Structure formats: C-alpha cells, structure tokens
Structure 1
Amino acid sequence: MNEHTTHQKVALITGANKGIGRATAEQLAALGMTVLIGARDPRRGEEAAAAVRRAGGDAHAVILDVTDPATVRAAARWVEERFGHLDVLVNNAAITGSGQVSPEDAHDQVPSSVDLDMVRAVFGTNVFGVIAVTNALLPLLRRSPAPRIVNVSSAAGSLTLASDPDGPLAGLLASAAYSPSKSALNALTVQYANELRKDGILVNAADPGFVDTDINNHTGYLSTAQGAAAVVRLATLDADGPTAGFFGEGGPVPW
C-alpha cells in the first residue's frame, strides 16, 4: 500500500438483516465503512443491504448461518476474494431459545425443568457460532491496521446483576439457556482479548440495553439505533482503547 492508497474499512455484522445488527450496519456505513450484512436468508440480507445503499452507504449481503460451518467458510472465502481483509467483526447473531417472548415470560428456561436441547441450541448460536465465525475471519482481521471484534452480549449475562435480589434484573425468571449463554460469551470475549492483545486486536463485549426487537417480542424501550450505539463505539475504538471489557452506552457493565 503506497502513501496515496486509502485503506477502505470493511465491517462484517452477523444477524444484520434486522434489529440491532441492521442498525449497527447502518451506523457503520454512515461512518464510511463498507458493511457486509450477514444473514441466513439471502433475500432478507439483500433487502437490508439495498436499504443501506439507498441511504448512501456501501453494503453487501453475505449468506451466513453461524451454526453452519459450510456457510461460515464460504463467507470467509468471499470476504477474502472480494476485499482481502476485514477491519471490524460484530458477532451479533443470537437466539433466545424461547421464541419471541420477553425474558420475564421465558418459563421454559427455568433451570430445574429446562429442555437440554434448547440449551444446546442457544449455546450453538450464541457461543459456538461466535467461535466459528471469529476463527474463520481472524486471518482477515490480522491484515487490518486496526482490527476490532465486538461481541453483542446482554446485561442478562452479568453474574453481578443477576445475583442481586434487589438489582435491575430481579424481575426476570431464572434462565438456564439465554442468560448463561451471554455469561459464557462474556468469558469468551476476555479469553480472545487476552490471546489477541499482543496483535493489537481489541475485543470487547457490548450491552445494547433493553432494545425493542423481535428477540423480546418488542417489549424493549430503546430503539435499535440507540442499542447499536454501544456496539458502534466499540467497533471504532482508537488504538489506545480498552480490550477485554464489557460496556454499555453508559460505560462499563459489571461482570
């Protein structure tokens, strides 16, 4: 790269055809990044990418099911062939396991009676899928001058908040699937950050807050744009920014 060449930043967001993922793609595109909208459904992915382009951004749809190793490998190959590098990875794709219900109504996740298959499915997307996608794209992230990984977590994954009987999560039912999957994601974030710190790759977990999305049957009070703000901030950290942290828009979130 010579001094006259401008490095075009490329960001891949999983589960980006709707909700927080889509809002993150829109905001990163507005900052001048090329955004790759990962989606299981190619039609929905292309519709989201087209909407970003209509707003003046540079966006492309990528077929990506984080639980399907073949699509993960194919997506990584496509990014390499098309762009040769990746600057930002946002691991956003997630499921609750309970369908479109709010956390307060997830009776099927009570630990003493939970279906183990549900727990496996939730961890398959929310934890194992993050490992699969991150490892497939790490070689491309290493080619970036300022690589960033953001794992979209939740306050529900905070052991500190969940264990406080008088805290903000006190009204939630006990969960053996979704909440522990986000706790595991937080732990995974720290482990990746520890490994990749020496390479200048900043890895953090984001708490978007209680956002109005399909995943909670639209019971949240924040807009998707508000929820994406914390994600975007971590995706655009300066070189001296934090790593191995858990942050919401208001600052650090307790583990």
Structure 2
Amino acid sequence: MTEALVLAVSAVLRDLYGWEASLELQPTRKEFEGDATLVVFPFLKQSCKSPVETANEIGNALLKATPLVTRFNAVQGFLNLVLASDQFESLFDTLRSSADWGCWPVDAEQPAAMVEFSSPNTNKPLHLGHVRNILLGHSLSRILEASGRRVVKVQIVNDRGVHICKSMWAWQHFGDGMTPESAGQKGDHWVGTFYVRFDQEYRAQVRELMDAGHPEDHAKNHAPCMLEVQEMLRKWEDRDPEVRAL
C-alpha cells in the first residue's frame, strides 16, 4: 500500500510541478489525523506558493487522482493524508487468503539459524514461564523461516545437575521409600514435591546458622544439606555407582 501511495503522490507532483526526484512519506504524528505525511517544503520553489497553499494544492490533486486518499489536512508545511479504509480491508483480505504472504524462499547463501527452546527442567512440571519460552521460540523460528533462513529448532534435555540432586537428597531423607505410584502422582510432580521439600529444609538450616551468628552468605553456602547436595553432584559427575543408581 505504501508503494502504491508513493507512486500516486509522485504522479501528482510530476503533473503539478514537473518533480521527478524520489520522495519519502512519513508516518503521521499521533497528535494529527492521518496515516502518512508528505513534507512539502522541497516543492515550494516549483509551486511558488506558501507551504499551506502548496500542501492544499497537492492534497486536492490527490483526491482527484487516486482512491487511496479520502481526505487530508495541511499543517504548515506538512500534508497529512488519510487513507481509505477499504484499502486496509483489501490488504487484510490478501493476508488472509495467502498462507505464505510476505515469506521468502529459503536462501542457501544465508547462514542457517539455530533456535534453542524450551529446554524444560525434566524433573519438575512445566509452568507459565516455560509456556512463554515455547511460544517465543516457536514464533522466532517462524519469523526467521519467513525471512528465507534455514532454521534448526533444538532443545537441550538435561536431567542432571544440582536441581535433581536436591530432589534426590530430599527423597533420601524424607521419602521413606515412596514412589510416584505409591504417592499417586505423576513422576514430574512427585520429583517436584521433593525439590520443594529440600528448599524448605535448606531455608530452615540457613535460618538456624544465622540465628547462631553466622552471616547470611556463609549460612547459605554452608548449610549442611547444600554441602551434601554439592557432594552428591560431584559423585554423579564422577560416575559414582550408588548415586547413579539412585
């Protein structure tokens, strides 16, 4: 639509003033009515009129020359153009009728793009933040594909690390042999329960150390349960058979 409007304005300027140079339209400032704005100062020499008179002359010529413009207003040297609503409706109809409107074919010369999402924590249920990341990652992938890029979508499935060790530690100390089946829970919810249980114990131990006079940073780093979790993680990474079996 912008290209068609530029062509229409160019034709009017050529007829009125013999103007052949390129021109640019700007979005109309929000405090004025209009969709596109033409700065008329460059044409004053050819029009031999004031800025407002020149803007009105161009605006009236556009109303006669093209159905794209339904009305206009002149503010000093700025011609604000109001576009016909049916032009927007036509554009929307085009968008709805074409599944690949605006999409470019894959360009083998462009580097491929890798988008990594959502990579959830496999030991806890998904939450709203994960859904956000999934939608963002998928949308970004589609935008890149539409721009002609070859896109590889990946996610990192990582069920190791300190997070699972926290759940393992809590199960060892408070699980009493419980299983997802005996608890009547999905596996991820069940593991998440022990993750929360660890956090409760960790907070209690930190508070106990702080009450004993230790600084908060020291208490957080030296809580017994956290030290044991860190040791469990070290054993996991060293392929300790007991930890791996757990």
Alignment TM-score > 0.5, same fold? no
- For Structure 1 versus Structure 2, the TM-score category normalised by the shorter chain is under 0.3
Q: TM-score, normalised by structure 1?
A: 0.22
Q: Which has the higher contact order (CA 8 A, sep 6+)?
A: 1
